[in-house]
Amino acid sequence: MPASAAARAVPAARATRAARAVPAAAVAAAAALLLAACGGPSEAGTGAGSGDGRVDGGLVPVKVGVIPIVDVAPVYLGVQEGFFEEEGLDVTLELAQGGAAVVPAVVAGDYQFGFSNVTSLLVASSQGLPLKAVAPGNSTTGVPGEDFSAVVVPEDSDVEDAADLAGRTVAVNTLNNIGDTTIRKVVGDAGGDADAVEFVEMGFPDMPAAVAGGQVDAAWIVEPHLTRALQDGARVVTSNFAETDPELLIAAYFTSDQQIAADPDTVEAFTAAMEKSLAYAEEHPDETRAVLDTYTEIDPAVKDAMVMPRFAPGLDAASFQVLADLGLEQGMFDEAVDTSALLP
């Protein structure tokens, strides 16, 4: 795919990771890895804890599986600002091929912690993977029209609101995940037939051109590709995250039950450092944008104009339930997901 004039941000294979579900093959692989991992904890995340994560007066090395998207800026900022070191941790951020790769790696102990959207974590938990969320990732801004996620259409489209998406083709990066479930929610709330929306799977970087060229009627896009689309003439018809729930938690950092049992001090230290990092990121927006340059390639004009997610400390259990209920209503889950199993 040729590079966009507006942004070279996160190639297609990377950018689709903002809301990737855990496919069956990955779940099966994770289950197999879990059996192997049960023999003993991973060396990188274990040790004689001193209550603050330190081992023998040094720092505990931990690996965190992340994805090169704007959503993970706080963890990079926290490492840069020394928050993890203050908690006794020596953090290595491992760029993964996607959320589906992070889950089995955490289960196996290759990573002690990982990042994934909430719906993907619910899918994994519903399929029996022993995971626990330990810290928030990012949330909607809660402001329709000013969020990092939106459904856009060509400027001359006759689609005026979410209800008009019924009967139209809408691009999402992954089917049966947080994108289409929240879009169905807002379409139904607006009085449209949510079941009549035709979803098409497409990488985020391809969506601005697809909307402009009429390949699809609309597309669900997240930053920085949302700003690219708007600069190319698209317009927002619905902010699906903000209109689903103004407090909606989109993603979280997680670990395995095994890691918690083997080394609770390290888990506690990581959670504390993440909470500091999230608060700092929200209070220092310029530094948060600047840290993106350390792990992404985003055109400066796009980076300055785009809307960043909200970074707030404190896990919101209600958001997990909102997305679990949506998944059940829309047939993603065969039975209600016990969200308490996923929460600390």
Task: Supply the pLDDT for residue 13.
Answer: 31
**Pair 50, 168 in one domain:** no
Residue at which a domain ends, from 193, 210, 244: 244
Task: Please report which confidence band the pLDDT of residue 5 belongs to, taking 50, 70 and 90 as the band edges.
Answer: very low
Contact between 60 and 54 (Cβ < 8 Å):
yes
Q: Is residue 63 one of the residues assigned to a domain?
A: yes
Q: What's the pLDDT band for 96 if we cut at 50, 70, 90?
A: confident
Q: Where are the beta strands (DSSP E) in 103-186?
A: 113-117, 131-139, 149-153, 169-172
Q: Where does the pLDDT of residue 302 fall: very low under 50, low under 70, confident under 90, or very high at 90 and above?
A: very high
Domain with residue 99: its CATH number is 3.40.190.10
User: Same domain for 84 and 106?
Assistant: yes
User: Quick one: average pLDDT of 33-44?
Assistant: 35
- Asked whether the predicted pLDDT for residue 190 surpasses 70, the reply is yes
What is the band of 319 on the pLDDT scale with cuts at 50, 70, 90?
confident
| 239-266: pLDDT as tens digits | 999 999 999 999 999 999 999 999 999 9
How does pLDDT run across 64-83, given as a tens digit for each residue? 999 889 999 999 999 999 99
Range of the domain at 180: 149-244
16 and 130, same domain (yes or no):
yes
Percent of the chain, pLDDT > 70?
A: 82
238 shares its domain with 252: no
**218 and 268 housed in the same domain:** no
Residues 90 and 204 reside in one and the same domain = no
Q: What is the pLDDT of residue 257?
A: 96
- Write down the pLDDT at residue 169: 98
* Confidence band for 33, pLDDT divided at 50, 70 and 90: very low
- The two three-digit tokens of residue 105, written as one number: 């790696």
Taking the C-alpha atoms of residue 292 and residue 70, their distance in angstroms, rounded to an integer, is 7
* Segments in the chain forming alpha helices (H): 12-15, 24-37, 73-81, 83-86, 99-108, 118-126, 178-189, 207-212, 225-231, 240-244, 257-262, 264-283, 285-291, 300-305, 317-329
312-338 average pLDDT score: 92
Convert the pLDDT of each residue in 272-292 to its tens digit.
Answer: 999 999 999 999 999 999 999
Tell me whether residue 39 is exposed, middle or buried, using C-beta atoms within 10 angstroms of its C-beta: 0 to 12, 13 to 18, 19 or more.
Answer: exposed
pLDDT for 243 equals 98
**Number of folded domains that form the chain:** 2
**Residue 94 host element (H or E):** strand 89-95
Tell me, rounded to whole angstroms, the distance of Cα 28 from its chain centroid. Answer: 22
Place 32 in a pLDDT band, splitting at 50, 70 and 90: very low
Whole-number pLDDT of residue 71: 95
Cα distance between residue 163 and residue 181, in whole Å: 15
The answer on pLDDT for 39 being more than 80 is no
- 137 and 253 belong to one structural domain: yes
Say if CB 340 and CB 103 are below 8 A apart.
no
